[in-house]
Structure 1
Amino acid sequence: MPHSPGARPPQHRRRLRRAALAAAVPLLLLTAAAPPPAPLGIGDRLFPYLGNPGYHVTDYALTFDYRGNDRPLEAVTTIEARSTERLDRFNLDFARGTVRSVEVNGARAAFSPVEEDLVVTPAHPVPRRTPFTVTVHHTSDPRGGDGGWVTTKDGLVMANQADAAHRVFPSSDHPSEKADFTFRIRAPKDLTVVANGVAAGRTTRGATSTWTYRTRHPMATELAQVSIGRSAILESTGPHGLPLRSVVPVGRRDGLAPWVAKTPEHLAWLERRLGRYPFENYGVLLAEATTGFELETQTLSLFEADLFTKRSFPAWYLESVMVHELAHQWFGDSVTPRTWGDLWLNEAHATWYESEYAESKGGRKLADRMRRAYEYSDLMRADAGPPAALKQPAPGKKVAIFRPVVYDGGALVLYALREKIGARAFEELERAWVDRYADRTVTTADFVALASKAAHRDLAGFLRPWLYDTATPPMPNHPDWKATGKPA
């Protein structure tokens, strides 16, 4: 029969209770363990997994070893950051590379790639509100397309918009995370390397050279640029002695130099409207690559070289495109959108000054362009959403946010605003905008607030439907303008 031990003394019951609690400790620890590594983001409505919570980046130091545009580059990314909370682990945005090792404050850290994130577990947690350093040894693979590295005829350039810098280097890849950058690129000595910012030295050992560049203003990851190839650097000066350095293929220097020489005039034209150029230098990068776009990387705007040699477009049009990318140095690069939903603040203004330049040089009236944009505005909004409330891009279609509604549709918002408050107040607003928010990030609400200040009245009620409604509001001073339901 079963043996009954009978009643136990109280002290024995206490021992059993302690033993039971001890046995439960591993179960409690298991229950409290951190969840499995997962991709994180800062909640951008259009790209929810971009950026990372728990810290802010202040500096990037990027080192690349280039041995050909058909193979991965060996790379080291060093990130200086400051925590906003205790970090037992944290995420970096990174894809398209192999991670060799990770260190946090000099100590080896565990890491786990998860989708397009790299989850890092430091040997010792990072306390809240503390500076810390992350060093990632990795490869950076230019193969595969879809943004990041772009292969040229004899090298590489970068095109990181809108969701692609983390295909090149580990980062907090969101425009709100502006930081200082240092680039060190090792390449065969017969190649030329150029990056954002100012040259800080070149050393040659044997068959290779190491080029160093540093930015003097904070920069969003999507604006980073490195050009590697058989290139010539064309140097000159712009207004008030601004250093200019442009990059062209060596074999096409003579044909492209006249286009490069137009840059000082473009700078002077924009400075008369916006005030001084906001960075340490400027230039155009004319690459032998097929991209289908031009891109405002900070201090060095990227263009397809063939754009200027095929004679498919009139000169005034090509110059207006150059002005568009140059205007982005103010709108988008210096004054940077805090979320991708604020993209219209970049493209509307660049389109505005492109159009004004086309009017002054090519006789294409801004008002005519805006009237046509108004005609198709409802269709643009139906296609991509209102200018400040874009539809989320479909998976694998991240560049779908760059739709006509943020270009001509956004410029139409500016035209309506100018019609409402008058040309003088509008011009004062534009200057105040780029001056007040230089080197900072902004939202659509910031623009509405500053526009109201410039107009000396609350414009939120006027601008809200222009920015957020699916139907285009009536255009001030133009009751005859009508939207059409017919596709362009």
Structure 2
Amino acid sequence: MPYSPGKRSPQRRWSARRRAAVATAVAALLLGAAAPPPTPLGIGDRLFPALGNPGFDVTDYDIAFDYRANDQPLDAVTTVVARATADLDRFNLDFTRGSITSVVVNGLPAQFTPVGEDVAITPAHRVPSGGTFTVTVRHTSDPRGDGDGGWVRTTDGLVMANQADAAHHIFPSSDHPSDKATFTFRVTAPKDLTVVANGMRLGRNTKGENTTWTYRTLHPMATELAQVSIGRSAVPERSGPHGLRVRDVVPADERSALEKWTEKTPDQIAWMEGKVGPYPFETYGVLIADASTGFELETQTLSLFERGLFSTTALPAWYVEAVMVHELAHQWFGDSVSPRTWSDLWLNEAHATWYEALYAQEKAGKKMDDRMRAAYGLSDQWRADGGPPAAPKGPVPGKKVSIFRPVVYDGSALVLYALRQRIGASAFERLEREWVAAHRDATATTADFVALASRVSGRDQSAFLHAWLYGQRTPPMPGHPDWKAAAKPA
């Protein structure tokens, strides 16, 4: 049929209908492609690939807890402020061991779906790349966990132990040390209890039978270093170097007995400052908890210790003091300068172990050379069991803290000893000071340390340190050709 002007052809009408149908189908396909089923996400850390979240950087947490008893879930509200690094139609937060009642993004209700140890959040409107957004999650936080980190129940309350993969057992977060942020804690508890958290106390308000305590960090902090203590505690205060506020948290009925230990902290801070420079935070203190954890922990500005460390008669005083210095040294190495990945953990523990051993040498005559020689003898065994210092083996299934093997402690301090043997004490001491100054309040990598060691020493240390950090066998120790690493027993 010839086409007549002024009339729409049947073919044209059919094409219009077809185009409309195709457009609808394509839109449905595109919508489906843009919104796949929620899945757990992570930033791909070699040891903990599901930790952290792509698409944004957290700048601030504001966390409110309502505590009643340590065998009951806490009601909580976590507010996260972040900057988007991509357009976000959906994003994840790390969170488990709690139920979520609502999520609000930029003031509007958002959809949320728990998936694995994440919660997938779909905001009402896309968050544009480069934009700042706020997420408020109402949830519970359950202290009745399996013992694999998070809340630790004490005889009279709770403390936190979030290393290495457990802050998200307590609050929604981007639970990876590369994503540091400032924190505010607002904790409501019965008024006969004392609450202390990271940073400085901003307020204490009693209303009826409860008191709300507010704390704020002045420096960014990794989630694994968060700390909240709730219990029947005394909080003795004293001055440290340069007027630094030192506040400890101890069981109230043992304040006098523990004073002989806590009073040592200002001098220990001064000792560390003499080695590496100014203390990096606004306050410090030790938190002595009546709990059995099997470890001590460098939570930022308030290091966690078991009460048993100070009450046992099986350990000499010099050893206890050296352990206190270990956690104190972490405030510089691990807290202020945090590892970019968990494979960089050796940077934390090597340095803390180094200053623990150096303190024992200077204060108690326990020679560093003797300790390092013993470590050298065991180093090949440690590498076989746990991997080399900068490429540690992953955690044993179900035991996330199993990455903390001997190779990341004395086995990694041995790397520092070898480096000092190679470049000399003066250059090594300069390296230590420049390291904490250059990366204060930030994160750093093994490659960063190698580069700085090369610059400070005036000589490329890449090949030397690569063998020490990544080799399956322990290299020869400079200056000690007689040191031998023992073969691994059958």
Q: Is the TM-score greater than 0.5?
A: yes
SS in 2 for 1:376: helix
Q: Deviation at 1:142?
A: 0.5
2:52 aligned residue: 51
Q: Deviation at 1:127?
A: 1.0
Q: CA–CA distance in 1 between the matches of 2:242 and 2:489?
A: 47
SS in 1 for 2:14: helix
2:36 aligned residue: 35
Deviations 1:365-415 (A, max 9, x none): 111111111111111111111000111223322111111111011100000
Q: Residue 337 in 1 paired to residue 339 in 2? A: yes
Worse overlay, 345-354 or 22-31: 22-31
Instruction: Tell me the TM-score normalized by structure 1.
Output: 0.97
Match among 247, 261, 264 for residue 262 of structure 1: 264
Gaps of 5+ in 2: none
Deviations 1:33-81 (A, max 9, x none): 1110001111111111111111110000000000000010000000111
Q: Residue 290 in 1 paired to residue 288 in 2? A: no
Deviations 1:142-196 (A, max 9, x none): 1112111000001000000000000000000110111011000000000000000
Match among 392, 401, 407 for residue 405 of structure 1: 407
Letter in 2 for 1:446: D
Q: Deviation at 1:26?
A: 4.2
- Which runs of structure 2 are paired with 1:278-427 in the superposition (5 Å)? 278-427=280-429
SS in 1 for 2:236: strand
Worse overlay, 88-97 or 18-27: 18-27
SS in 2 for 1:184: strand
1:95 aligned residue: 96
1:80 aligned residue: 81
Match among 20, 23, 43 for residue 22 of structure 1: 20
Deviations 1:106-139 (A, max 9, x none): 1000000000011000001111100110000000
Contact 1:98 1:138 in 2 (8 A): yes
Q: CA–CA distance in 2 between the matches of 1:173 and 1:337?
A: 13
Gaps of 5+ in 1: 1-5
Contact 1:88 1:122 in 2 (8 A): yes
2:165 aligned residue: 163
Q: CA–CA distance in 1 between the matches of 2:485 and 2:54?
A: 43
1:213 aligned residue: 215
Contact 2:62 2:79 in 1 (8 A): yes
Q: Deviation at 1:249?
A: 0.4
Deviations 1:419-461 (A, max 9, x none): 0000010001001111111101000000001101110011101
Worse overlay, 368-377 or 25-34: 25-34
Q: Residue 224 in 1 paired to residue 218 in 2? A: no
Q: CA–CA distance in 2 between the matches of 1:110 and 1:420?
A: 57
Q: CA–CA distance in 2 between the matches of 1:399 and 1:255?
A: 31
Contact 2:100 2:138 in 1 (8 A): yes
- Which runs of structure 2 are paired with 1:57-68 in the superposition (5 Å)? 57-68=58-69
2:447 aligned residue: 445
Equivalenced residue count is: 483
SS in 1 for 2:204: strand
Contact 2:38 2:115 in 1 (8 A): yes
Q: Residue 243 in 1 paired to residue 241 in 2? A: no
1:3 aligned residue: none
Letter in 2 for 1:84: T
Contact 2:148 2:399 in 1 (8 A): no
Q: Deviation at 1:347?
A: 0.1
Q: CA–CA distance in 1 between the matches of 2:404 and 2:254?
A: 31
Q: Deviation at 1:253?
A: 1.2
Letter in 2 for 1:288: D
Q: CA–CA distance in 2 between the matches of 1:221 and 1:167?
A: 11
Q: CA–CA distance in 1 between the matches of 2:415 and 2:396?
A: 26
Q: Deviation at 1:8?
A: 12
Letter in 2 for 1:20: R
Contact 1:244 1:282 in 2 (8 A): yes
SS in 1 for 2:189: strand
Contact 2:101 2:138 in 1 (8 A): yes
Instruction: Tell me the TM-score normalized by structure 2.
Output: 0.96
Deviations 1:261-310 (A, max 9, x none): 11011111111111111100100000001100000000000000111012
Contact 2:68 2:74 in 1 (8 A): yes
Worse overlay, 263-272 or 340-349: 263-272
Letter in 2 for 1:279: F
Letter in 1 for 2:138: H
1:131 aligned residue: 132
SS in 2 for 1:57: strand
Letter in 2 for 1:28: V
Q: CA–CA distance in 2 between the matches of 1:31 and 1:409?
A: 55
Contact 1:59 1:80 in 2 (8 A): yes
Q: Deviation at 1:7?
A: 12
Contact 1:376 1:487 in 2 (8 A): no
Contact 2:148 2:400 in 1 (8 A): no
SS in 2 for 1:202: strand
Q: CA–CA distance in 1 between the matches of 2:451 and 2:163?
A: 28
Contact 2:97 2:141 in 1 (8 A): yes
Q: Deviation at 1:487?
A: 4.7
Q: CA–CA distance in 2 between the matches of 1:93 and 1:374?
A: 39
Letter in 2 for 1:23: A
Letter in 1 for 2:144: R
Letter in 2 for 1:17: S
SS in 1 for 2:391: coil
